[in-house]
Amino acid sequence: MLSTVAVLVIPPLPVFEFGTVCEVFGIDRSDDGVPPFEFRVCGEEAGRAVPTVVGAQVVPSRGLDGLRDADLVVVSATRSREFSDEVLDAVREAAAAGSTMMSVCSGSFVLGAAGLLDDRPCTTHWDHADELRERYPRAKVDPDVLYVDDGNLITSAGTAAGIDACLHLVRREVGSAAVNVIARRMVVPPQREGGQRQYIEQPIPVCRSDGLAPVLDWVVEHLDVEHTVSDLAIRARMSDRSFARRFVAETGTTPHKWITLQRVLRAQRLLEDTDMSIDEVAQRSGFGSGALLRHHFRKVVGVSPADFRRTFAARTALAGN
């Protein structure tokens, strides 16, 4: 049963991620039928102010002793990458004593430094995923998901994904009725679809060759027509074999995968910026049919074209006002 929740704050502290944990576990909603949690805000030293990234301060009421015997220990996000032995020892001891460990966004670096991510599936904000892998090569980092539940270890992606992970844990430990109450009060969905990939700006592979660059520019301008390796090789004045080998060497991927990615990128822009139907977007981006667009779009982005449009078309409209 989940009854005691301790959140560990480490400077410099991003306030939104900390706030999501407070919102889910720190507010008494027993009048609405949600079992109350004993909520502890813990720092390296009780009463010592923890600086945040916005100039304010958070003063934890408990020291590292507050992690002991907590059912759940949540490590909030931090901009730091160096942690004291006292913090890491307290985190290890809590895990060894049976606490479920959770990180929100870059809080994963604390768990990694404590050795708790070794040989475990985990995630973090997509922008930190490569760094997490480099620092803790034994961690099995998945940058495409909103959170990873590995039993007694839960890690979440960036910022709002902390809400998803916290609500998931409440659902797992307390039940869906409690989650629905909390989510309704927070005005968020009880469960979001998709993963981090839909929020990542897909990079266009850079071609370092002056010989191939004009060909690729031409392809991007004509994505709505079919392209074969032979056609592109002729345009580049190369043999099929030489063109394919040169293409992989210069872009890091095959012609087919590169063109598919460009078509998905075109489809993303059309979904954000126009009210074209899915079939029209498929035609304009070169997929030909809505079914083929949905297949490749979900494979690359992680959600359907319709779900992507619902998320991002409104954002684009607001940005333009």
Strand pairing category for 140-141 and 38-42:
unpaired
Residue from 72, 40, 74, 73 nearest 58 by CA: 40
Structural domain for 95, as ranges: 4-199
Are 160 and 32 part of one and the same domain?
yes
Whether the bond into 203 is cis, omega within 30 of 0: no
Q: Write out the DSSP string of 255-302.
A: HHHHHHHHHHHHHHHHHHH----HHHHHHHHT--SHHHHHHHHHHHHS
CATH code, 25: 3.40.50.880
Look at residue 315 and tell me if it is in a domain: yes
Are 190 and 228 part of one and the same domain?
no
Per residue in 53-102, pLDDT (tens digit) is 999 999 999 999 999 999 999 999 999 999 999 999 999 999 999 999 99
Are 169 and 220 part of one and the same domain?
no
Are 274 and 191 part of one and the same domain?
no
> How many domains, in total, are found in the chain?
2
Per residue in 92-148, pLDDT (tens digit) is 999 999 999 999 999 999 999 999 999 999 999 989 999 999 999 999 999 888 889
Look at residue 293 and tell me if it is in a domain: yes
> What single-letter amino acid sits at 123?
T
Look at residue 205 and tell me if it is in a domain: no
Are 250 and 175 part of one and the same domain?
no
| Minimum mean pLDDT range among 105-114, 155-164, 184-193, 200-209 | 200-209
